[in-house]
Amino acid sequence: MDKIEITARGMTFTALCEGPEDGPLLILLHGLTRTSWEWHHQIPVLASLGYRTVAMDLRGRPPDARPMAVEDYVISEFMADTLAVADQLAGEGSPFHLMATSIGAMIAWHIAAEHPTRIKTLACINIAHPGAFLEVAARPEGERQRERMSYVEDSSIEGNERAIFEATLARIDLPEAETAPYREVYASEEAIRAAFHWYRARPLDSRNTMALPPVPMPTMFLWPPGAGNVSRETAEANAHFVTGPYRFEVLEKAQNYALQAEPERVTGLLAAHLSAHGG
């Protein structure tokens, strides 16, 4: 894998990249308190299918793409970053394939729903379409889903970042080699503070309550129940918000670091999704 830099929107984003430069573009979005490294098991395999596979570091992680105002971490800014990076790599307005996990998945659902002509295929891990959360919230079992997201409030409090980061790594219990790159990036107090601005920006962000339309492209959703933040009802309701070909798989072994905790199965499913619908 190569580490590259991409200049977009007046910032310099870093990314891990592999695959032919003239291949169809596949962008990968990581989760919170993670980086592009989260995709290191998948990148070589997906690139071997002929895709120019680019796992970009979201704003806040690269030193030269790290604004420090809370309002800089609303969903629309992450969406604009991703689309601008795709423009730089594939040409302005060009469609591309998109895969994402955790907060990256939230960004990906919004891009796919609001800019459907830009996305050829979509694969999301752990976080369901926002419409699924709203649908379940209106049911009697909605309280269970709200309880599963209660960590958001603690995560939004300034000064909690380091303790939450360490507690998450302890709970996931991955080998040190799998998490050392995260510790390196988040050793910077600026980087970890900027990452947690995602939570602090939620009350400012109208996209957290908007009614998002279904996505029309071929879509895969992988749900790890062990992550604990998405209920079965929400995961199953996700099917109501995809109008194109849809595949839903449960990752029984993985938690919310599914790409690293269950890499062989996840990689195989993602590769199969591209083989079936990549065109």
**What are the structural domain ranges in the chain?**
2-277
Which letter does DSSP use for residue 90 in this model? Answer: H
Task: For residue 178, give both structure tokens.
Answer: 């799998």
Q: How far apart are CA 88 and CA 182, in angstroms?
A: 26
Mean pLDDT over residues 191-198, rounded? 96
Is pTM beyond 0.85? Reply is yes
User: Using one digit for the tens of pLDDT, what is the confidence trace for 146-191?
Assistant: 777 677 888 899 999 999 999 999 988 899 999 999 999 999 999 9
Check whether 279 has a pLDDT greater than 80: no
Task: For residue 44, give both structure tokens.
Answer: 């070589």
CA dihedral 148, 153, 159, 165 (to 10 degrees): 20
CB 99 within 8 A of CB 26: yes
CATH superfamily of 2-277: Alpha/Beta hydrolase fold, catalytic domain (3.40.50.1820)
User: Using one digit for the tens of pLDDT, what is the confidence trace for 196-238?
Assistant: 999 999 999 989 888 899 999 999 999 999 888 899 999 999 9
Task: For residue 119, give both structure tokens.
Answer: 């996305």
CB 41 within 8 A of CB 267: yes
Which letter does DSSP use for residue 253 in this model? Answer: S
Mean pLDDT taken over the chain = 94
